[in-house]
Amino acid sequence: MQELSMGVTLLLFFYSAYIAAHIKQTSINWNFWFFGPIVGIALVTTIPAYLFASHNGVAMLPSVLANRAIFNYLLCPAIVFLYVSGMSAAEIETTIVSVFKWSVIVYLCAYFILPMPEYFVSADPWKAGLVTFDYRGYRLKIPFKVMVISCILFVHKLATDKGNSATWFLFSCLVILSLNLYTSRSLNAGIVISGLAYFFLLKSKRHAPIFLMLLPIIILGQAFGIISFFEHLSIQNAAGNDVRFDSYKKALQIIERFPLFGMGMMSAVTITDSQLIWKYFFADDIGIVGITYRYGIVGALIYLTFGVKLIANQISLHWKYTALKRPNSSVQIALLCAMINTMMNIVLNVDFIIPDGVMFACLIISLNAIHKREIIAHQIGLIEKKS
């Protein structure tokens, strides 16, 4: 399914780019949106693959293909090209909302249909990877970003779209049921905190001074939380209940050897990080340390800058709408709240290089570009009316 989705994304990218290339009057720089992502993807896939191949004496191509989730970033320019080709921002967002609806329905159907105990012990790693088991029982792994966005999106629609309140009440119940079935306290708390942070700190630009006053406290709180997290891992590791603490230590040793550009991208076809370092080592499980292990300090700084840029642009767009006294869309507000949630955990997560995080970033980048042009068109229309 992952390869099928990438194939569809590639077809959509080239098809929409071809149509958009024939539109003469547009504010979109076609060359930038077509060649920019291709060059960026080429760099992100080839450089880490070359480094891993040279460090470990293995073939390079499998490592390029192992980083194939990055190819889904082509969805971003594809959405922009669809806008240039004639789809309105409202039509694009309606399609996106439909995707979130179906994602929640599919998750619930899978949760009640799949034989999770059989999947958990399956020799097929893809099946076993779908299910987790602990004191809460067997649970189907949840698409985190989809559920965070869907929860905020459906609840906001319920509060604002009175004409379809029954529909949004139903889907709000479905997404809340999904979250309760997975029973992740940190996920649920993150959704609540991000919603409250948006409402009290970022909903209006008038709240900006409060946000700036609280920013040092937020940063210190995050630092304290991270220190406490590592202390907890150390205690759990000493008790034999967790292995990530050792993974962090081993990753830092590799970073000392290859500080600038890291170890590179592994491939299961040649040799894996688990085989190189130890059997419980997975770079994606150790957050920004895993990013630094794989892409070096340079890659980690680019990753953090990318995240800060995303949330800054999303906040800026929202405040532009409030300055014009125009309601921002529910999709944009949901993406902003989800971005707040991501930034609260950016040091511990690797959202923007895994499939659902890539899709999330694509939506923010593309819809941000589209909405800014909608605002410009609106302002031009007001000027023309006055003149």
Average pLDDT score over the chain: 87
Total-model pTM: 0.89
Name the DSSP letter for residue 140: E
Residue 74 forms beta bridges with which residues?
Answer: none
In percent, the amount of the chain with pLDDT more than 90 equals 48
What average pLDDT does range 311-322 have in this prediction? 90
In percent, the amount of the chain with pLDDT more than 70 equals 96
pLDDT tens digit sequence for 17-46 = 999 999 877 778 999 999 999 999 999 999
Query: Using an 8 Å Cβ cutoff, are 280 and 243 in contact?
Result: yes
What's the CA gap between 179 and 187, in Å, rounded? 8
Helix (H, G, I), strand (E, B) or coil at 50: helix
pLDDT tens digit sequence for 263-284 = 999 988 888 888 888 887 888 8
Nearest to residue 343, comparing CAs of 302, 368, 306, 301? 306
Instruction: Tell me the C-alpha to C-alpha distance, in Å, between residue 194 and each of 148, 200, 330.
Output: 10, 10, 15
What's the CA gap between 362 and 304, in Å, rounded? 16
pLDDT tens digit sequence for 147-183 = 999 999 999 999 999 899 999 999 999 999 999 998 8
Locate the domains of the chain by residue range. 2-87+184-386, 92-183
For residues 160-188, b (16+ Cβ closer than 10 Å) or e, as one string? eeeeeeeebeebbebbbebbeebeeeebb
Grade residue 204 by pLDDT with cuts at 50, 70 and 90.
confident
